[in-house]
Amino acid sequence: MGDEDTSRHRSVPASRIGRLGGFTRLAGGLAGGALSEGARRIASGERPRLDQLLLTPANAKRLTDRLAHLRGAAMKLGQMISMDAGDLLPPELSEILARLRERADFMPPKQLDKVLSAEWGKDWRKRFRRFEPRPIAAASIGQVHRAMLPDGRLLAIKVQYPGIAQSIDSDVDNVAGLLKLTGLLPAELDIAPLLAAAKEQLHEEADYVREGAMMTRFGELLEGREGFVVPELHEELTTTRILAMSFEEGGPIEALASERQELRDEVFARMIELVARELFDSRLMQTDPNFANYRWQAKTGRIVLLDFGAAREVSEGISADYRRLLYAGLAEDREAVMEAAIEAGFMNPRALERHPEAMRRAVDIVVTQMASDDRLDFGDRAFVPEIRETVMPIARDRDSWHLPPAETLFVQRKVSGTALLGARLNARVDVRGIVESVLAETA
């Protein structure tokens, strides 16, 4: 094991005091970095704003490194922000926070053994012919190990970091405070309902028995449908802090980007249909579109679906809201789209009153994209800067700020995150045809 590998062994702060100390050091580091940057800019004749001082590359690196060390809800929220905010974040912060989607330190062997002993007993090694101590994946809430049972079956064992479940509420509050400090979350915006929903979902994700049940439900829903693989639950070894499942081979889904265009288009069309069926058919959605939750089996041509901790029921009301929006969009009825968006809570009616031209222009751009009879080229994001420029007057107007319902944000996170994957794969898909088909089948 090389130096680079060793450096990724970092104990997870499990106690409340230890985690609070991590946030305190982070806040101090951000403040120190801001003072240093401020002195530098003032000396050069500038008069920088506070957000410019806090959102420097050096401070963004401090934020990323500390969240990766703390893991749990702290790192999870950083991942969410990097994916959900997309093109709207400052470039430096967006680039560095995006690394949280691909980076996590893992537990040292002693800490790992302590967790496994607490869950399975001191002689837990006797349950396996082989248990690989080095994780094959590490994420925000747990890390995954490959193991072999005495009968030769391969398992993937997800082990939760110690203290994560107990720290969720305080971590969410501490991260929200840090984000307000950086100016990413304006103080005037009431984020209490969103924070409550984030805590609820993170508590669900920390319950591995629940995740195992959700994984089984998805396996049953997709049984008989070609193109997808869902791991099978191993109940005997599963606890609230350990999830045992069949090990499914697969490489990064991004590897598809180097395949021929036809294959990329076919595979991503499958994923678009899956999202549509989650929303309108089963009304059960895995709401975390992190790229690591998809694996590509080049030999079989199938997509392995992973990580069902964020799976949740989609209410009939939210499903109906999206149905109305899509019907209006496909009919290219822009006024109906606006009405449906306001009724569903996507838009603030005050924004339409105060910025009617910008709102109508933004809707026009989106409707033009979705209603086209041509295949939607996810790699062509030329419209994104146009939307950003159009909505900037709204974003600057504090009286227009608005947070949609939390459940809507979870669903939209899956929709927008899937689109980001399509952009990474440069896929071209008949989205209109797929959506119209699923809407008709589930009407």
* Dihedrals phi, psi of 139, to nearest 5 degrees: -130, -160
Six-digit token string for 67: 């969240």
Return the residue matching tokens 């199938």: 302
Active site residue 288: yes
Q: Which residues of 328-349 are buried (b: 16+ CB within 10 A; e: fewer)?
A: bbbeeebebbbbbbbebbbbbe
Helix (H, G, I), strand (E, B) or coil at 89: coil
Q: Would you tell me the crossing angle of helices 164-182 and 192-205 to the nearest 10 degrees?
A: 150
Distance CA 3, CA 6 (A): 5
Q: Please list, in sequence order, all residues whose beta carbon lies within 8 angstroms of the beta carbon of residue 221, skipping any fewer than 6 positions away.
A: 282, 284
Helix (H) or strand (E) run with residue 145 in it = strand 142-148
Which residue pairs from 351-357 have beta carbons closer than 8 angstroms and sit at least 24 positions apart in sequence? Answer: 351/394, 351/397, 351/400, 351/402, 354/394, 354/397, 354/399, 354/400, 355/393, 355/394, 355/397, 355/400
Among the options 105, 288, 307, 321, which is catalytic? 288
Mind telling me the catalytic residues? 288
